[in-house]
Chain A
Amino acid sequence: MNTTEIKILLDKYYEGETSRDEEKILKEYFIGDQVDESLLEHLPVFTYFKTESKIKPGLDLEDKILEKLDEVPIIPFYKNKTFWTYFAGIAATLLFLFTFIFETQFNLKTDDQLAVTSYSKQDARLAYDQTRIALAYVSGKYAEATQPLSEVSKFGKSTMVVSELGKMSAELDKINSNVNKMGSSVDKLNKLSKFSIIVKP
């Protein structure tokens, strides 16, 4: 690498445009003994980076880290949050499945067995009678309860009375026509009064 090439690389370097390989070339150049006098001002930077990359922590750091790692408590699985999420998921699904099976399969079978074996004709008769008595009792009470409601039928009668009012309008029509007739006879009487004026003198 000659000085001009290094200068070009340096310009790129300060613009942040050099690749890692190009930066490696620069670093190697400045570490070597043949650094051009005109480029000496860049020497401290690259020397600094080189030495910085070799800095190491105290030798006991590794032991300190291992010691610290031993102090970290190991969390047992039953204190693990994710474990419980998975566990709850599985448990809920299984529970749902079992209840479903129980409802559909197991329960139906017992119903069939009960229907075939346990009821005799007498039992059925007894059940029929009991039901009838119960229904009769209910209907009796129902009838009792509806008794006060019969008063409501009076409402129908009173509307009949109201309908009689229709007749009143017919009477009114008659009165009206009579009044008209009376008007015309009054007119006739007026004409008679003219006659009296002629007679007076």
Chain B
Amino acid sequence: MVFLSNVVIFRCTFVMKLLTSRLQHTMTKQEFVFRVMPLKDKLFRLARRILDEIEAEDIVQDVFVKLWAKRDEIEQYRSIDAFAMVVTKNLCLDKVKSKAYQNGKITDWNEPIDHRSPERMTELKDDVKMVHQVISTLPEQQKLIVQMRDVEDMDYEEISEVLKMSVNTIRVNLSRARKAIRDQVIKTHNYEYHGN
């Protein structure tokens, strides 16, 4: 009897603890918006690396709905950023698969900051556009790695958490992507130079 009642008391306290912890940790909408909304630009840029601008905006909306539905799980992750990026990445890759997306679709291109001499600027503009095109022909994983490392300046541990890859694999892929971009830029540059 004593043993049994102990078991019951233990169980009840455990359940109560769980319920109260749940109540404490469940985010309100304000909290959620406050903590997750700042990520929208970063998530949009990541989605845009794979999809076009309109689809990227749609994906970001879906990501927020998903995150809101899973707000209890968010607490378990080391960073909301990583979790949000995992969801974004998965939704984008799903979309690419479902649509049999044409590889190398080129999105709109923003003009670079204009503080150099105009003749150098036009040349640079073409080269920068080139970089964009080369990246869009890379494999999806490499695109994501370049985006996260070179554009978003994330550390390798965080990237490996998002892509579920080892840090070493990420380094190798990043090196490949960077070299591919460099080689393409140099090649085109030389070609144009000789052409002129």
Contact = CB atoms under 8 A, between A and B. Distances in A.
A61 B57 contact: yes
Interface in A164-181: none
A89 B5 contact: no
Given A57-B44, A64-B57, A65-B37, A14 B179 contact: yes
Contacts of B15: 86, 89-90
A66 B1 CA distance: 55
A93 B132 CA distance: 63
Interface residues of A, number: 42
Contacts of B86: none
A44 B110 contact: no
Interface string B147-165: 1011111010000000000
Contacts of B1: 100, 104
B105 interface: no
A119 B116 CA distance: 115
Contact of A90 (B12, B32, B40, B150): B12
B182 A45 contact: yes
A53 B151 contact: yes
A99 B136 CA distance: 69
Given A55-B48, A61-B40, A90-B12, A43 B124 contact: yes
A154 to B, nearest CB: 64
Contact of B124 (A44, A65, A68, A97): A44
Interface stretch (A15-23, A121-129, A133-141, A183-191): A15-23
A43 B45 CA distance: 22
Interface in B1-46: 1, 4-5, 7-8, 11-12, 15, 18-19, 29, 32-33, 37, 40-41, 44-45
B19 to A, nearest CB: 7
A41 B7 CA distance: 72
Contacts of A5: none
A56 B45 CA distance: 7
Contacts of B11: 89-90, 93
Interface string B181-196: 1100110010000000
Interface in A13-50: 13-17, 20, 23-24, 33, 41-45, 47-50
Contacts of A20: 153, 155
B41 A57 contact: yes
Interface of B: 1, 4-5, 7-8, 11-12, 15, 18-19, 29, 32-33, 37, 40-41, 44-45, 48, 56-57, 60-61, 64-65, 68-69, 110-113, 115-116, 124, 127-128, 130-132, 147, 149-153, 155, 171-172, 174-175, 178-179, 181-182, 185-186, 189
Given A14-B179, A47-B128, A69-B29, 18 more contacts: A13-B178, A16-B172, A16-B178, A33-B116, A41-B186, A43-B124, A45-B131, A47-B112, A48-B131, A49-B150, A50-B112, A51-B128, A53-B45, A55-B41, A56-B44, A61-B40, A65-B61, A69-B68
22 contacts: A14-B178, A16-B171, A16-B175, A44-B185, A45-B182, A47-B124, A48-B128, A48-B131, A51-B113, A53-B45, A54-B110, A55-B48, A56-B41, A57-B44, A68-B61, A68-B64, A72-B65, A86-B15, A90-B15, A93-B11, A93-B12, A100-B1
